[in-house]
Amino acid sequence: MPDLLTLFCELCRIPSPPGKERLVADYVLAYLRELELDPQEDDSGPRVPSDSGNIVCRLPGAQEGGVPIMLCSHLDTVPPQGPIEPVVTDGIVRNATGTILGADNKAAIAAMLEAARRIVEEHRPHAGVELVFTTVEEVGLQGAKHLDLGSLEAKVGYVYDQAAPIGEVILGAPYHRELYASFIGRAAHSGIAPEEGRSAIVACARAIADFRLGRIDEETTANVGIVRGGVARNIVPGHCELEAEIRSHNEKTQLGLIEEMLESIAFAAEQSECRVETKLVEIYRGYRFKPDDLPVAIARDALASCGFEPKLGLTGGGADANVFNAGGLPCVNLSNGMAHIHSPEEEIAVDDLERMVGVTLALVDAARASGAD
């Protein structure tokens, strides 16, 4: 079987944008079957949609006592803008071709597969280990949302999906909702009969000008990321739409801010003599752990045993951990050393790939040594 660096580079070379994970899923399935394991692919693909389902693999040899754990990574990356050819320079893996490397989340896949190999070949004792590989994480955590959590035996879970030096443990992630608004005015020739028009762009601009955007407080952010409207310079625009997102670790604060924005949208439409249609979509729910909660305690023990000082913090982004926590499986997101993700500068140290294998094995050991309460 390939060594860890070769494994990682082979995974990175396989393009796997959201919904097109089939080739990398096949690689993962083949690797696990070569270990004489029995990975299962679920039927979520058409519903997500993706050309692959989620993959779940239970390692044999679980012993009584301790805490069964789940380890999770996602199969997709943000869409690459060209071929991926990993190169190693001064101990750092980067892509030579000017697009993403795919360390998010291929570094996690590689660490999980290599750790599984060592557990199997060394007959390493454990309290239960399940490997989960999800699809379409980069677009709303869709694969995880279609995973049957009831089929898992794990009591706690770990996702390696935080771009930071190894040692960071995410205690909480925000609630994330998206807001869509479509302003409907009346088109008219701007040079001949502008008074007959009702500008949807003006209505949209009035609403946005009234929004509170950016960092609202230490727990809350809001942004308008897309505005579309108009068809020509000489036509009063009859339609304009905006897309916004609101994130907060405090759901009450989030919902209050959304209500403000809806009121601003309605008022702007009325003042501009336009109609408006709105839609609110929950992308994922937030979560918050205490430092002594079981999944955090296991992670802290594992990291400390590997020589890392655990750093507890919050994030403004989401991961599959949000979905698992909302579904009743306590799941912590851990950093894995990747940097500059979603960009041509994406990179990871070769040493960090090996260190995350060590952390994975330490999680297995710490979970086996932990009490279920």
Helix 103-121 vs helix 22-34: crossing angle, to nearest 10: 10
Residue whose tokens read 């990179």: 347
**Considering only CA atoms, which of 44, 285, 249 is closest in space to residue 147?**
44
Which of 41, 137, 138, 168 is flagged as catalytic? 137
Catalytic hit among 41, 42, 76, 365: 76
> How far apart, in whole angstroms, are the C-alpha atoms of residue 25 and residue 19?
11
Alpha helices in 272-349 (DSSP H): 294-305, 320-326
Give dist(CA 196, CA 109) in Å, integer.
59
Which two three-digit tokens encode residue 276? 């408006």
Show the tokens assigned to 260: 């403000």
Query: What is the rounded CA–CA span in Å between residue 98 and residue 2?
Result: 26
Q: Please answer whether residues 185 and 230 qualify as being in contact, where contact means their C-beta atoms are separated by less than 8 angstroms.
A: no
Q: Which tokens hold the place of 311? A: 């750093």
Residue 122: which residues within 8 A CB-CB, separation 6 or more? none
Quick check: is 76 catalytic?
Answer: yes
Dihedrals φ, ψ of 170, to 5°? -85, 115
Q: Report the distance separating Cα 298 and Cα 58, nearest Å.
A: 20
- Can you read off the two tokens belonging to residue 36? 């004489």
Under 8 Å between Cβ of 326 and 285? yes
User: Given the structure tokens 């009831």, which residue do they identify?
Assistant: 150
Active site residues: 76, 137
